[in-house]
Amino acid sequence: MLPVKTAQKGKATREPEGSQPTLLQVRTPKSGKARRELEKRAPKIVETGKKTLILHGRKTSSVINSVLSDLYHLKKDSAVKFSRRNEDISPFESGGDTSLEFFSHKTDCSIFVFGSHSKKRPDNLVIGRTYDHHIYDLVEVGVENYKPLESFTYDKKLAPRVGTKPFVCFIGEGFESAGELQHLKEVLLDLLRGEVVEKLNLAGLDRVYVCTAISSKKVVLTQCALRLKKSGTVVPRMELVEVGPSMDLVVRRHRLPNESLRKEAMREGKNQPKKDKNIKQDLLRGKVGKINIPDQKIGDTVYYHTKVGDTFVPSKTKGVKRERREARMKHEGNERTPKVQDMLEPKKAKKLKRERHDPTTTKDAE
């Protein structure tokens, strides 16, 4: 097969034989919208809500079509649904997941639901997760006793709103003991819970997904509306009203990820805040900071205090305080009388001091 070269306007041209194949060009985003879209798809330390990809297989039944439509209705704000049939997708077979990984990368979806129907596996659903847009794990279930949304009658005021955060409840010992149900529990939790949040407002809770383990391979899944009533305490009394859909899921096949892939996917990044040095909080003064000032090297400081013409000439001063102190002591020793004479002859000392400061008095006296 001849190598294919990427040409302009999305057309592919063939290269002549014997030539080296050229690598595909990596295009950088030029617009702000494309740049923001790539930043959303980039890996994050704290991931946002996972999107779900819904696909049809080579052949589907009316039950599977209704199940996929109801799942898309429940996750309409975070789901992508393809209406065409895909004949080349077989998740459990080698090479049958190439198109599935391509669609996952194209739509930026990390969870997929693939529906198919055959004589060997009627009303079949494959729920899987991807890591780095490659298949991570798979769970295959059969749908039995399905009741669509339209078959339930209830007060329409209780209908769950699109995009609200649901409760997910798992009932039964099978979710703790059976390996197939443990794996199914992890996949259903990722599929139904939506975006992970730290705080919830009780006024916004209006739905519950109830998963009940009947046997080691069978689970009953149903959606109930949540009605809050007064209980006389802070916590309201809750009532459940079944609003559908409802179905029985029978586990047929499942494939776990290998240990190395699991460790890589479960690795968490260091999200510790940067510590501010020399800063502390005080109850009275608030944020208090400490500043470390290096040695000033005052002896080498240049002072511009000598003026020559119109410019200042730099000069280094050393020992200025010592020279001034010595000069002052010498001056006082020459002119000032000793302290003993001041004590013995106070009037004469005062007169000499007055004459020293006011020499005109001596001239007048003369």
Confidence label for 230 from pLDDT (cuts 50, 70 and 90): confident
Q: Cα–Cα distance between 68 and 84 in angstroms, integer?
A: 13
Placement of tokens 């494939």 in the chain: 255
Inter-residue contact 125 to 92 (CB < 8 Å): no
User: Residue 169 to residues 43, 135, 216, 247: CA-CA distances in angstroms?
Assistant: 30, 27, 17, 15
Q: Which amino acid is at 1?
A: M
Residue 314: band (very low, low, confident or very high) from pLDDT cuts 50, 70, 90? low
For residues 138 and 224, give the distance between their C-alpha atoms in angstroms, rounded to a whole number.
27
Please tell me the predicted confidence (pLDDT) of residue 363.
47
Provide the token pair at 93. Answer: 């077979």
123 Cβ partners below 8 Å, 6+ apart?
A: 61, 63, 64, 117, 142, 143, 144, 146
pLDDT digits (tens, 9 = 90+) for 246-299: 999 999 999 999 888 888 888 776 666 677 778 888 888 788 888 888 777 766
pLDDT one-digit tens code per residue, 66-87: 999 999 998 888 899 998 999 8
Banded model confidence at residue 211, pLDDT cuts 50, 70, 90: very high
| Domains parsed from the chain with CATH numbers | 47-259 (3.40.50.10480)
**pTM for the model:** 0.64
> pLDDT at position 366, please?
47
Q: What is the pLDDT of residue 20?
A: 47
Amino acid 294: pLDDT = 79
Mean pLDDT of 102-107: 89
pLDDT at 327 (0 to 100): 76
Overall average pLDDT of the 35-41 stretch = 81
Helices (H) and strands (E) in the chain, counts: 10, 15
Pairing of strands 303-308, 311-315: antiparallel
Query: Is residue 159 scored above 50 in pLDDT?
Result: yes
Mean pLDDT for the chain overall? 79
Find out whether 149 and 245 touch, Cβ atoms under 8 Å: yes
